[in-house]
Amino acid sequence: MTETSRIRNFCIVAHIDHGKSTLADRLLELTHAVADRDMRAQYLDKMDLERERGITIKAQAVRLAHDGYELNLIDTPGHVDFTYEVSRSLAACEGAILLVDAAQGIEAQTLANYHLARDAGLAIVPALNKIDLPAADPDEVARELGVLLGRDPSEVLRISAKTGEGVPELLRAVIERVPHPGGDASKPLQALIFDSAFDAYRGVITYVRVHEGVLPSRARIRMMATKVETEAEETGVMSPEATPISQLGPGEVGYLVTGLKDVHQAKVGDTITLAGKHGAKEPLHGYREPKPMVWSGLFPAEGGDYSDLRDALDKLKLSDSALHYEPETSQALGFGFRCGFLGLLHMDIVKERLEREFDLELIATAPNVEFRIARGEEVTVVHNPAEMPTPGTYDRVEEPVVFATVVTPSDYLGAVLDLCQSRRGEQVDMSYMSPERAEVHYVLPLTEIVFDFFDQLKSRTRGYASLDYEPWGYQTADLVRVDVLLHGEPVDAFSSVVHRDKAYAYGRQMVERLKTLIPRQLFDVAIQATIGSRIVARETVKAKRKDVLAKCYGGDITRKRKLLEEQKRGKARLRRVGRVDVPQEAFIAALRVDEGASKGKK
Amino acid sequence: MSTGIYVHVPFCPTRCGYCDFNAYAGLDGLKPRYVTALLREVELAAPGWDDQDVVSVFLGGGTPTTLDAADLKALLAHLGDRFAVAPGAEVTVEANPDTVDEAKLAALRDAGYGRLSMGAQSFDRTVLSSLERIHDPDSVHRAFAAARAAGYENVNLDLIYGADGEGLDSWERTLLETVALQPEHVSAYALTIEPATPLGRKVASGAVPAPDPDLQADMFATACAVLCDAGYGHYEVSNWAKPGYECRHNLGYWERRPYLGLGAGAHSYRQDRRWWNVRPPEEYLRRVGSGELPVGGQERLEPADAYLEEVFLRLRILEGIPASWVEPGRAEPFLESGLLELDHDALVPTERGMLLLNELVLALAG
C-alpha cells in the first residue's frame, strides 16, 4: 500500500483528436512503464473498434511510477454519449490535465468535460498540445484558456505529445498541482466502480478507486446497488499490463476480477464493500442506472437470422451494460429487437459490432427518443413511435431535452443560431471566448439532435463547430405521430414522432423519397403520410404496364429462362406490405435520416 | 418429328449500337473459310438427325446476305443432301435493305430461299440514325419492291419501337407505311437496352435516355390496333402475320420442337438437352477445322426448367396454359384485373397481359 501523500489520481480531458492517446503513450515511455521494444502507438486503446474510430470507449486506469510517486492515469471516454461514464471516471480522480490542441483551440467537448471536471472538484492542469505544428497559435489559445479558467495564461503548459517536448514538465506539474487523495485504511471499505469490462476467460473485471478502507485480493464482497455478493478472485493494477497485487489501499486505483459472469451485476457507479458485518453502511453517492437515450429497431435483413441476432445481442450485453433490448415485431420488417442506446455513437458502435463480429446484415429503423405520455396522473413511457397513442387520447406528451454547448468560429455564429432556432432550441446564453470564437448554450429537444443535427451543424460551419450536450430533463411538446401508408396499409417501420410544425414537411419528404424507392407494381400504389386520420402528403407510384422480354427468337431459350429465374429470385427478396412488394433497399434508404438533409444542403 | 435448322452468319457491314447478337463488323476476310466450315459442320452434325423431318430452315445473323448468293445456294443444297428437308419446307433468309438488289434476291429465290425477313426497323430517318442503322427509309421501299419483283410472296418486315427520339406519332406512321406495303408478316420489337452494348453504356452513363416503358406500352397498343385493322393476326407477343403466314421456324422454338443450330454461337435443342456453339468466329473455325463439333456449352433441362419454359412460351404464343396446371387462386386476380382471360379451359394473356408476361409467368408458374 502506498502512502496517500505519494499518490496522484488524474485523467486527461480533451476534445477528440487533440492528442490524448499520444500523450498517454509519452507518459508510459517517460515513466518506463512499457519497454521500448513493446511500445506501439495508442497503446492503451486496445479494442480494434476504438483504434479505428480514434476514440476511447472503455476507460482504463494505468499505474505509473515516477520520482517515488504512484501516478494513476485514468482514461475517460471522450464522447457525449458517455457523459455518465465520464463523470464516474472523474469521480476517481483528484485532478485533470485539460489538453487543448494549440492549432484547433477550445472545442465544445473540451468545455463540456472541463465543466464536469470542475464541478467534480478536480484540480485542473491546463496544457496546450501540438505546439510543434506550423498552424499552432499557442499564445492565443493560452489566452483563451486563461479566460476560461480565470488564471494567468503563463500557467498553461506547452507540450508536443508527438515529440515529447514539455511532457516531463507536465508530469511535474501534475505531482505539484493535483492534491493527493484522502481516505482511511481503518474505515469500512468503499470502492467506486468507474468502469467494467467482460473478459471471455475471467468474467467481469471492474476498475475501481478505493475511497475508504482496504480491498484485499481475495475477499467476499458486495455490490451495494445491485446487492450482488461474490468472491473476489484477484486485485491488481494495470502498469499497463495487468499485475496482481495483494490489496488496494485508500486512494489507490486498480482492477478487480469479480468472479461474476454478467456486467449488469457490477455496474459503473456502484460501490463495492466487504460482505457481512465489516461492510460499509452507506454507498458512495452518485450511482445512476445507465439510461438509454436513443432507441431504434434492429431487424435482420434475412428473416431467418432472428435467433442469430438474439444470440449476438445476448453476447454483446455481457460486455456492454448500457445496451437495452427487447423483442419487437414489425409487420413490415418481421421479428427483431427494439434497442436502447446511450446515444447515436453508441448505436453505431453496437450496430457495427453486430454486423462485423457476428456477421449479421441488419435493417435499423430511424432512431427516436423516449416520450412520456401523460393521462391525468398516469404517465406511460414509450420508446417506439408505433406505441404513440392517437391524438386526443392523452393530456400531453413530454420529450427529453438536452443542455447543448456549441463552440464555433464567430463567422458561423449566425448559421449556428439559425440551426438551433429552427430545431426548437431555447438559447441559454452566448459569449465570445475571443473575437474569433463564440460559445453558445441552448436547451434543445433531443429528438432534434437525433435527427441529423450534428451533420447539419458540421455542414453549415464547414466542420469547424463542435457540439456537446448533456441530459436536461423533459419538456411538454406538441408532438404527433406521422404514419406512412402504402396502398392504404400503415407501414409501422416508417412511423415517426415529430413536432406538429414539422409533421407536414416530414411527411412530404418521406412520401417523395418512397416514391423513388417503391418499384412499380401491377396496380397504382398510393403512398400517404397521415397524422391520425388526416392525410398530409400523397404520391402515387403508377401501375407498371410493361414487363416482358421483347425478343424470343434465335433459339436461345436458356437465357430467357434464366432471366425469368433471376426475376423470380429478385421477387423472393422483396418484403410484402399488404399487397405491395417493397425491396430491402427501400427500407434501408428510406430510414436513413441524413439522406434528404444532405441532398438539400448541396 | 418435325425439326428446324438454324444457320448463323455472324458478319455485318457495321455494328448497330443496340445489337447484342453474335455479330461482327470487319471480319469479312473470314467469309470464305466460314462458308467452308458451315459445310463441314453440316457433315459433323447430321448423323443422328436422319430420323427428323426438317420443316424449316432459317438463315439468320448477323447479315446472311453479306455472303454471295452462290455460297448461300451451295449451303442450302448441302443441307438438302444431308437432311430430310421436307418438300415445301419454310426456308427463310434474313436481309438488310442495303445488302440486296433484285438480281441477288432472284438468285436466292431460285436457290430455294422462299421467305425473306427484312430488317426495316423504322420508316423514320431520325429513328434509323438513332439506332445507327446504315439504311434510310427509301432503301426499305426499294428493297421491298425488289423482293416482290424477284417473286417473293412471303416477306417479313422487322420493326423496332421506342428508340430515343421516337414518339407515338412517328411510330404510327412507321406502322402505316409498313402495312401499306402489305408484307405477309410483321415483327415489332420494343427496343431493349442490353448492358453490354455501346447503346447500353450510353444509357448507363446518361448520354442517352432509357426507353420509357409507358410510351413503349402505348406503342405496343398502337401496333396491335394498326396491324389488326390491316388484317394481321397477332400470334406471338412481338409477331403478326396474314392468315397462314405465321413463321413456322420461330413457332418451332416456341412450341419446343427440336432444332439444330449451325454456325458460331448457334443454339440447338432436342428432348431435354439444350446446347450451343462457341461464339467467336475464329474459335468456331478452329474447332470445326480440327474435325470436332464446336459445342461451347450445354444444359440438361430438369422437369422444373422444362415446365417454366413450357408456361412462358405457351403464354407468348397466345396458346395459353390449361387452367388445371395452375394452383387454385393464383390466376383469379389476373382474370379479374383483365391480364388473363379464359379461352375454353386455357388461361390466355390479354393484350395488356402480354405486356406484363413476365409477371404472369412468375405468378402462375413461379
* Helix ranges (DSSP H) in B185-302: 198-205, 213-229, 248-254, 281-289
Predicted local distance difference test score (pLDDT) of residue A391: 77
State whether B356 and A567 contact (CB < 8 Å). Answer: no
Helix (H, G, I), strand (E, B) or coil at B38: helix
Residues of B in contact with A551 (CB under 8 A): 189, 192, 238
**Architecture (CATH level 2) of domain A480-601:** 2-Layer Sandwich (3.30)
Residue A45 — pLDDT band, cuts 50, 70, 90? low
**Overall average pLDDT of the A232-236 stretch:** 91
**Overall average pLDDT of the A430-446 stretch:** 91
Give chain B's mean pLDDT.
Answer: 95
Predicted local distance difference test score (pLDDT) of residue A595: 42
Residue A315 — pLDDT band, cuts 50, 70, 90? confident
By Cβ distance, the residue of B191, B268, B357 closest to A548 is B357
Candidates A255, A342, A354; CA nearest to A310 is: A354
CB B76 within 8 A of CB B57: yes
**Overall average pLDDT of the B78-103 stretch:** 95
The continuous run of DSSP H or E covering B61 comes out as: strand B53-61
Predicted local distance difference test score (pLDDT) of residue A57: 38
- Pick the residue of A524, A541, A544, A553 with the most B CBs within 10 A to test the interface with B by mutation: A553
Q: What percent of chain A has pLDDT over 90?
A: 57
Residues of B in contact with A556 (CB under 8 A): 267, 276
Predicted local distance difference test score (pLDDT) of residue A318: 76
What residues contact residue A424 under an 8 Å CB cut-off, 6+ apart? Answer: A444, A445, A448, A477, A499
Distance CA A239, CA A62 (A): 5
This prediction has a pTM of: 0.74
B307 and B237 co-located in one domain: no
Torsion of CA A208, A210, A213, A217, to 10 degrees: 40
Predicted local distance difference test score (pLDDT) of residue A41: 73
Predicted local distance difference test score (pLDDT) of residue A197: 80
Domain A372-477 class in CATH:
alpha beta
Q: Is pLDDT of A594 > 80?
A: no
- The 10s digit of each residue's pLDDT in B178-193 is 999 999 999 999 999 9
Residue A199 — pLDDT band, cuts 50, 70, 90? confident
Domain C-terminal end among B234, B254, B274? B254
Q: Is pLDDT of A386 > 50?
A: yes
Strand order in the sheet with A203-212: A229-231, A220-223, A271-274, A190-199, A203-212, A253-257, A234-238, A242-245
Least confident of A170-179, A292-301, B105-114: A292-301
Rg over CA atoms, chain A: 27
User: Is B358 a member of any domain?
Assistant: yes
Residues of B in contact with A548 (CB under 8 A): 190, 237, 354-358
Describe the crossing of helices B102-111 and B137-149 by its angle, rounded to 10 degrees. 50
Task: From residue A507, give the alpha-carbon distance in Å to each of A154, A486, A501, A581.
Answer: 56, 13, 11, 21
By Cβ distance, the residue of A544, A552, A561 closest to B316 is A552
B248 and B329 co-located in one domain: no
Predicted local distance difference test score (pLDDT) of residue A587: 85
State whether B267 and A553 contact (CB < 8 Å). Answer: no
- In degrees, rounded to 5, the angle at the alpha carbon of residue A89 between the alpha carbons of residues A85 and A91 is 115
Measure B24 CA to nearest chain A CA, in Å. Answer: 17
Predicted local distance difference test score (pLDDT) of residue A590: 82
Measure B357 CA to nearest chain A CA, in Å. Answer: 5
The full set of domain ranges for chain A reads 4-177, 190-278, 294-365, 372-477, 480-601
User: Is B72 a member of any domain?
Assistant: yes
Which domain does B151 fall in, by range? 2-254
Q: Is pLDDT of B290 > 80?
A: yes
B307 and B250 co-located in one domain: no
User: Is B14 a member of any domain?
Assistant: yes
**Overall average pLDDT of the A572-592 stretch:** 84
By Cβ distance, the residue of A546, A556, A561 closest to B305 is A561
Residue A79 — pLDDT band, cuts 50, 70, 90? low
DSSP letters for B199-216: HHHHHHHTSSPPP-HHHH
B189 and B327 co-located in one domain: no
State whether A550 and B259 contact (CB < 8 Å). Answer: no
Measure A520 CA to nearest chain B CA, in Å. Answer: 11
B53 and B148 co-located in one domain: yes
State whether A547 and B357 contact (CB < 8 Å). Answer: yes
Domain C-terminal end among B238, B254, B270? B254
Task: From residue A34, give the alpha-carbon distance in Å to each of A24, A47, A245, A374, B269.
Answer: 11, 18, 18, 57, 75
Predicted local distance difference test score (pLDDT) of residue A593: 59
- What backbone torsions phi and psi does residue A516 show, to the nearest 5 degrees? -85, -10
- In degrees, rounded to 5, the angle at the alpha carbon of residue B324 between the alpha carbons of residues B322 and B327 is 120
User: Is B32 a member of any domain?
Assistant: yes
- The 10s digit of each residue's pLDDT in B24-52 is 999 999 999 999 999 999 999 999 898 89
**Overall average pLDDT of the B86-98 stretch:** 95
Distance CA B132, CA B58 (A): 25
Q: Which fold has domain A294-365?
A: Alpha-Beta Plaits (3.30.70)
Measure A580 CA to nearest chain B CA, in Å. Answer: 14
Measure A508 CA to nearest chain B CA, in Å. Answer: 26
Distance CA B204, CA B127 (A): 20
Least confident of A154-158, A299-303, B2-6, B167-171: A299-303
Residues of B in contact with A523 (CB under 8 A): 337
State whether A571 and B190 contact (CB < 8 Å). Answer: no
Distance CA A534, CA A512 (A): 18
Q: Provide the chain A residues 512-531 that lie in CB contact (below 8 A) with chain B.
A: 522-523
Q: Is pLDDT of A512 > 90?
A: yes
Q: Which CATH number belongs to the domain containing residue B159 in this structure?
A: 3.20.20.70
B11 and B79 co-located in one domain: yes
User: Is B39 a member of any domain?
Assistant: yes
Predicted local distance difference test score (pLDDT) of residue A19: 87
Residues of B in contact with A540 (CB under 8 A): none
* Residue that wins the pLDDT comparison between A552 and B300: B300
List residues of chain B with CB under 8 Å from any CB of chain A.
6, 21, 60, 189-192, 213-214, 216-217, 220, 236-238, 250, 253-254, 259, 261, 266-269, 274, 276, 299, 305, 308-309, 312-313, 316, 337, 339, 352, 354-359, 361-362, 366
Predicted local distance difference test score (pLDDT) of residue A56: 39
State whether A556 and B6 contact (CB < 8 Å). Answer: no
Measure A488 CA to nearest chain B CA, in Å. Answer: 19
User: Is B111 a member of any domain?
Assistant: yes
Greatest mean pLDDT among A348-357, A375-384, B107-116: B107-116
Measure A577 CA to nearest chain B CA, in Å. Answer: 17
Chain B residue closest to A556 (CA)?
A: B267
The count of structural domains within chain B is 2
- The 10s digit of each residue's pLDDT in B260-272 is 999 999 999 999 9
B23 and B89 co-located in one domain: yes
B108 and B246 co-located in one domain: yes
B164 and B89 co-located in one domain: yes
Distance CA B3, CA B85 (A): 9
B321 and B239 co-located in one domain: no
CB A334 within 8 A of CB A297: no
Predicted local distance difference test score (pLDDT) of residue A54: 42
B120 and B198 co-located in one domain: yes
Torsion of CA B340, B343, B345, B347, to 10 degrees: -20
What residues contact residue A600 under an 8 Å CB cut-off, 6+ apart? Answer: none
Least confident of A95-104, A263-272, B105-114: A263-272
Partner B contacted by A557 (CB < 8 A) = yes
- The 10s digit of each residue's pLDDT in A477-491 is 999 999 999 999 999
State whether A545 and B312 contact (CB < 8 Å). Answer: no
Domains A372-477 and A480-601 belong to one CATH topology: yes
- Pick the residue of A542, A544, A552, A566 with the most B CBs within 10 A to test the interface with B by mutation: A552
Supply the CATH classification number for the domain A4-177.
3.40.50.300
**Overall average pLDDT of the B274-295 stretch:** 97
Instruction: Tally the C-alpha atoms within 13 A of residue B338's C-alpha that lie toward its C-beta.
Output: 4
What's the grid cell of residue B210? 432509357
State whether B313 and A546 contact (CB < 8 Å). Answer: no
B166 and B310 co-located in one domain: no
* Residue that wins the pLDDT comparison between A305 and B268: B268
**Architecture (CATH level 2) of domain A190-278:** Beta Barrel (2.40)
Predicted local distance difference test score (pLDDT) of residue A599: 33
Question: Would you call the peptide bond into B62 cis, given omega within 30 degrees of 0 as the criterion?
Answer: yes
Predicted local distance difference test score (pLDDT) of residue A598: 34
DSSP letters for B108-171: HHHHT--EEEEEEE-S-HHHHHHTT-S--HHHHHHHHHHHHHTT---EEEEEEE--TT--HHHH
Q: Is pLDDT of A461 > 50?
A: yes
